[in-house]
Structure 1
Amino acid sequence: MKQRQIERQSLIISIIVNAVTGLAGLAVYIVTDLNALLLDGVFSLIASLSALVGLFISRRSHWRTASFPQGLFFLEPLYAVIKSLAILFLLLITFLETSATAYAYFVNQIGHQIETGPVLPYTMTTGLICLLLGLYNSRQNDRINNMSTMLKSETKGNYIDAVISLGIGFAAFLLYFIAIEGPLGFLHYTGDFFITVILVLFSIKEPIAILISSFRELTYATTNDQDIRDMVYQILKPHLKHKKDDLDILIYKQGMQITVKIFILDLENTDLLTDLAQEKADLLNQLRKRYEHIRVEYTF
């Protein structure tokens, strides 16, 4: 199965699963008025919507146009950047909302008791589903040599969603053992805030990491993916081992496209130029056995 087919298959499953868990989360939020569940439900719906956009991009990023003759691969890291920003914005909004609720209780003694009835079965179920979905997307990306920026973003999002769901469930479970008249009784009114703070602290690292790596791809920086670098150099080595002192090799990755730029330092060596020209086709064939969208450029 081609790389694009595997990517699209994963995105379709992500769309369906995230939509179901997101709508379920909003339904339980309406019953319980637990803001952390709003975060959980909206997070899943954003993941479903973004996977739908990702599916559209996956079908078109390889298209070539007059303005983008090498393809629209930049759309893939752009997708990951926007999704990461949306996740960070959602985490911030939820944190501010629950902070306002906690402030109202501690300062003005205004609050509503948290209803935990359906929370535990919902969070345990969705947490497990999100974890399995993350493992599935990660496995699918492994099948295509971790080339999909979008599946990498989806996988991280699935794991964050699982942490949010399981964290809410664990906190709801603890409330069963805390007496509302006891010294920790305030958690029945403000536990939402403390749950959200902990979840934000645990979850914020991943979207920031994806944002940084995707921004590097979007701006066409040289790749820092060591697995790709090692594999490309391994394939290049038998072709260029006797010429490496006269060459400088840079590797770029943008979405599923890899560009290998070979800078020729000794322009007076005509034998070198002839050998490189003759070996280019064979070199590309070897590289394309591993990477579907890859090109080699000689630069003088």
Structure 2
Amino acid sequence: MTGHIAEKKALYASAVINLMMAFSGWLAYHYSNSQAILLDGNYSFIAFFVTLIAIRITLIKTKLTETFPFGQYVYEALFSFGKGLMVIGILLVALIMSISRISHYLNDSPVNVLNTSTVLIYTIVMLSMCIPLAWYCQHENKKVNNSSMILRAEYIGSKTDAIMSFLTGIVLFSIGFLDIDGRFGFLYFTGDAILVIVLVLFLVKDPVILARDSFVEMAGGTLQNKNEKQKIEAILKEVLTFDLMKSSYISKTGSNYFIVAYVSAQDIDEIGFEQLEYLKKETLVALKKNYRYVMFEIALA
């Protein structure tokens, strides 16, 4: 299966499941009055909308145009960057809403009481969709050596949704066993707000890293994945014999890799341009065994 087909299958599945999760979240919020569940539902709906954009990107990324003569892979990085910012934005809004809810409670303003009767069913339904989707996106990305930023973004999104759903369900279900007039009765009014604050602090790392790596890709920076970089360098050293390679430059934009091996002028004179061209072709063949979209060049050190 090609990387293109793997991406399309995973994205179509992600779009359908995210829409189902959004409606589930809104319905559960209607009965529970939980800000944490509303956050979950809104997150899923925006994820559905963004996934539709990702599907379009997978259809055009390999097309060559006058503006993008090497392909439109930058849209993949732009998508991942945008999704990272989107998740950060949703978490930030949820944080502000939760702080506001706690502030209202402390100031004796009216605050809706949590209804935890539907939480367990909601949690089971959400986890039955989130966990398989996260696993599927990660599984499909592994088929293309984790080169798809789009599938990485979908995996992070699904994993974030799964964690939010699980922790929300556990905490809110547990609150249902408390006496509303007892010592911890305040949790019926602020429990989900406290939970959202904890979730935001716990979940914000992944989207920040995603946005950072995507920005580096768009700016033409070097590959940030150290393991992937070592793997590519090993392929280069295996093919480029005679200790030719002095250094290398490895960058990635979306699912496309651009790799340069630097060779000294003296070494080029010794082996000749014909042999150098042969080694370049052999290196490209070796790289394409692991990376579908790759460009390789040899330059003077």
Pick the TM interval, shorter chain: over 0.9
Determine the structure 2 residue equivalent to 1:182: 182
Cα displacement string for residues 211-230 of structure 1 (whole angstroms, at most 9, x for unaligned residues):
11111111111112233223
Describe the SS at the equivalent of 1:111.
Answer: coil
- 8 Å Cα contact 1:243/1:272 also seen in 2: no
Cα displacement string for residues 173-193 of structure 1 (whole angstroms, at most 9, x for unaligned residues):
111221011111111111121
Give the superposition deviation at 1:20. Answer: 0.4
Residues 1:208 and 2:208 aligned together: yes
**2: CA distance, partners of 1:125 / 1:48:** 17
Relative to structure 1, the CA distance from residue 268 to residue 291 in structure 2 (aligned partners, 3 Å threshold; closer, same or farther) is closer
**Structure 1 stretch 167-176 or stretch 269-278: which is displaced more?**
269-278
Residues 1:263 and 2:265 aligned together: no
**Structure 1 stretch 234-243 or stretch 201-210: which is displaced more?**
234-243
Determine the structure 2 residue equivalent to 1:88: 88
- 8 Å Cα contact 1:80/1:149 also seen in 2: yes
Determine the structure 2 residue equivalent to 1:76: 76
Describe the SS at the equivalent of 2:122.
Answer: helix
Give the superposition deviation at 1:106. Answer: 1.0
Cα displacement string for residues 90-134 of structure 1 (whole angstroms, at most 9, x for unaligned residues):
111111112212111111242221111212211222023212211
Determine the structure 2 residue equivalent to 1:62: 62
Q: What code does the residue aligned with 1:130 have?
A: C
Determine the structure 2 residue equivalent to 1:161: 161
Give the superposition deviation at 1:268. Answer: 7.7
Q: What code does the residue aligned with 1:37 have?
A: I
- 8 Å Cα contact 2:117/2:176 also seen in 1: no
Give the superposition deviation at 1:35. Answer: 1.1
Determine the structure 1 residue equivalent to 2:299: 299
Determine the structure 2 residue equivalent to 1:138: 138
Determine the structure 2 residue equivalent to 1:13: 13
Determine the structure 2 residue equivalent to 1:27: 27
**Superposed structure 1 runs of 4+ greater than 6 Å apart:** none
Determine the structure 1 residue equivalent to 2:151: 151
Describe the SS at the equivalent of 2:261.
Answer: strand
**2: CA distance, partners of 1:193 / 1:229:** 42
- 8 Å Cα contact 2:240/2:279 also seen in 1: no
**2: CA distance, partners of 1:130 / 1:208:** 21
**1: CA distance, partners of 2:121 / 2:71:** 46
Residues 1:254 and 2:262 aligned together: no
Residues 1:99 and 2:99 aligned together: yes
Determine the structure 1 residue equivalent to 2:51: 51
**2: CA distance, partners of 1:203 / 1:226:** 23
**2: CA distance, partners of 1:257 / 1:109:** 54
Superposition RMSD in Å: 1.6
**Structure 1 stretch 23-32 or stretch 139-148: which is displaced more?**
23-32
- The share of aligned pairs that are identical, in percent, is 27
- 8 Å Cα contact 2:10/2:137 also seen in 1: yes
Cα displacement string for residues 12-51 of structure 1 (whole angstroms, at most 9, x for unaligned residues):
1000011101111111112222111110001111111111
The alignment's TM-score, normalised by the length of structure 2, stands at 0.94
**2: CA distance, partners of 1:132 / 1:269:** 52
**Structure 1 stretch 204-213 or stretch 230-239: which is displaced more?**
230-239
**1: CA distance, partners of 2:227 / 2:8:** 23
Give the superposition deviation at 1:286. Answer: 2.0
Relative to structure 1, the CA distance from residue 121 to residue 268 in structure 2 (aligned partners, 3 Å threshold; closer, same or farther) is closer
Cα displacement string for residues 130-174 of structure 1 (whole angstroms, at most 9, x for unaligned residues):
122111111111111101001111111111101111111011111
Give the superposition deviation at 1:65. Answer: 1.1
**2: CA distance, partners of 1:176 / 1:12:** 37
Q: What code does the residue aligned with 2:212 have?
A: I
Give the superposition deviation at 1:88. Answer: 0.8
Q: What code does the residue aligned with 1:256 have?
A: S
**Structure 1 stretch 40-49 or stretch 228-237: which is displaced more?**
228-237
Give the superposition deviation at 1:258. Answer: 0.8
Residues 1:193 and 2:181 aligned together: no
- 8 Å Cα contact 1:248/1:265 also seen in 2: no
The alignment covers a number of residue pairs equal to: 299
Determine the structure 1 residue equivalent to 2:172: 172
Residues 1:244 and 2:250 aligned together: no
**1: CA distance, partners of 2:181 / 2:12:** 48
Relative to structure 1, the CA distance from residue 273 to residue 46 in structure 2 (aligned partners, 3 Å threshold; closer, same or farther) is farther
